[in-house]
């Protein structure tokens, strides 16, 4: 079941939160005119979902098939950066509570800044990311 | 020495739709001009923040006080190719009363080393709150952080209420 399925636009990313596949994905460019209006419903839904799986039953399920979060953001502006870090802190909170969660951060080959942004966020949230290079 | 070419020259009152179309055009131009993906991304990031700044902080739309003189000062976004670097020029009208705080911020950012700018960015990201105008207060830090060169800026007085704020950012072709 998809709890979130937001289509991408020229300035907003595609966002998926899939319960059955234990998957969160955000892909594209994030520079919405109003970052709060775009990200607030996503954050609310994510918090609701994470709260619903914060129990021993789901900890066992997640240990076999972890929840994966894929950040395929080719660009995000400064207002979006704040909300992206909020999303990462939600994952970190539940990771610390024992839910197996993996974060994948994508960057284009040769674009070191994009990787550095991910490294900074990983360092800030104290959450180890797996970095995935997209070859051109 | 290569002559400088004006690659983009936009002025007026920018809407979000105008900005989308400017950024689309910019993306195409940068893909032709720059082979280094890191520089391409840096110029694009700076352009997004500059245009966002113009959209959120320009007093053009907020003021009802349109004299002929003020119409001579539209918001602007220009991009030059110097043959070895890309230069962004951005400008918008601001209230005179906001100049000193903006100048203080710019001076403080220009005084910081790149590593300190990065630390400041991370610190601000943790504490950022979205303002009434939709900004997180991080845009100027990004503008200062990415070119790796100091921001050149200017305030030109229009009248007792308004001034024109101009920014210049330069990016070498390669990192």
pTM of the model: 0.87
Nearest one of B123, B109, B120 to B152, comparing CA atoms: B109
Contact B37 A108 (CB under 8 A): yes
Rounded to 10 degrees, the C-alpha dihedral B15/B20/B23/B28 comes to: -140
Question: Which of A75, A81, A123 lies closest to B44 in CB terms?
Answer: A75
pLDDT tens track for B7-28: 999 998 888 889 999 999 999 9
CATH number for A100 = 3.30.750
A34: tokens are 């109003």
In chain A, which residue's Cα lies nearest the Cα of B128? A82
What is the spatial order of strands in the sheet that B5-12 belongs to?
Answer: B5-12, B75-81, B85-95, B162-172, B152-157
Contacts of residue B47, Cβ cutoff 8 Å, sequence gap at least 6: B23, B26, B77, B79, B88
Residues 106-165 of B with CB under 8 A from A: 118, 121-122, 125-126, 128, 130, 134-136, 138-139, 141-142, 146
Quick count: other Cβ atoms within 10 Å of Cβ B3?
A: 7
Cα–Cα distance between B166 and B18 in angstroms, integer?
A: 20
pLDDT for residue B138: 86
pLDDT for residue B134: 59
Residue A119 C-beta-side C-alpha neighbours within 13 Å: 8
Contacts of residue B71, Cβ cutoff 8 Å, sequence gap at least 6: none
Each of the 136 residues of chain A gets a pLDDT tens digit; together they read 789 999 999 899 999 999 999 999 999 999 998 899 999 999 999 999 999 999 888 888 888 899 999 999 988 999 899 999 999 999 999 999 999 999 999 998 888 888 999 999 999 999 999 999 998 7
Find the domain containing A55 and state its range.
Answer: 2-134
pLDDT tens track for B133-144: 656 678 889 899
pLDDT tens track for B164-175: 999 999 999 887
β-strands B162-172, B85-95 pairing: antiparallel
Give the confidence band of B30 by pLDDT, cuts at 50, 70, 90.
Answer: very high
In chain A, which residue's Cα lies nearest the Cα of B46? A77
Q: How many structural domains is chain A composed of? A: 1
B168 touches chain A (CB under 8 A): no
Residue pair A69/A104 in contact (Cβ under 8 Å)? The answer is yes
Full set of structural domains in chain B with CATH: 5-172 (3.30.565)
Distance between B159 CA and the closest CA of chain A, angstroms: 30
Question: Which of B38, B55, B125 lies closest to A81 in CB terms?
Answer: B125
Cα–Cα distance between A15 and A45 in angstroms, integer?
A: 12
Mean pLDDT of chain A: 93
B38: tokens are 């890191």
pLDDT for residue B60: 61
Give percent above pLDDT 70 in chain A. Answer: 100
H/E run at residue A130 = strand A129-134
- The yes-or-no verdict on residue B130 having pLDDT over 90 is no
């Amino acid at each position: 079941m998809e709890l979130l399925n937001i289509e991408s636009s020229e300035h907003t990313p595609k966002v998926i939160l899939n319960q059955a596949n234990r998957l969160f994905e955000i892909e594209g460019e994030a520079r919405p005119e109003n970052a709060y209006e775009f990200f607030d419903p996503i954050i609310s839904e994510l918090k609701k979902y994470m709260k619903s799986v914060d129990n021993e039953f789901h900890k066992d399920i997640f240990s076999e098939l972890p929840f994966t979060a894929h950040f395929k953001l080719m660009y995000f502006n400064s207002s979006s950066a704040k909300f992206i870090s909020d999303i990462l802190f939600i994952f970190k909170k539940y990771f610390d509570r024992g839910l197996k969660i993996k974060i994948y951060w994508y960057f284009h080959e040769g674009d070191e800044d994009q990787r550095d942004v991910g490294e900074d966020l990983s360092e800030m949230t104290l959450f180890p990311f797996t970095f995935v290079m997209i070859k051109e | 020495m290569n002559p400088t070419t004006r690659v983009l020259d936009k002025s007026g009152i920018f809407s979000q739709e105008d900005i989308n179309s400017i950024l689309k055009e910019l993306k195409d131009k940068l893909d032709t001009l720059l082979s280094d993906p890191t520089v391409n991304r840096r110029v694009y990031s700076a352009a997004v923040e500059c245009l966002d700044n113009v959209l959120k902080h320009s007093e053009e739309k907020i003021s009802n006080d349109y004299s002929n003189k003020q119409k001579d000062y539209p918001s602007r976004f220009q991009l030059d190719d110097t043959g070895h670097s890309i230069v962004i020029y951005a400008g918008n009208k601001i209230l005179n009363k906001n100049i000193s705080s903006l100048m203080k911020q710019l001076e403080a950012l220009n005084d910081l080393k790149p590593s300190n700018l990065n630390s400041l960015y991370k610190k601000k990201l943790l504490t950022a709150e979205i303002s009434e105008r939709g900004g997180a207060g991080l845009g100027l830090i990004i503008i200062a952080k990415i070119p790796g060169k100091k921001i050149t800026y200017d305030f030109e007085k229009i009248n007792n209420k308004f001034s024109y704020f101009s920014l210049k950012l330069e990016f070498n072709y390669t990192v």
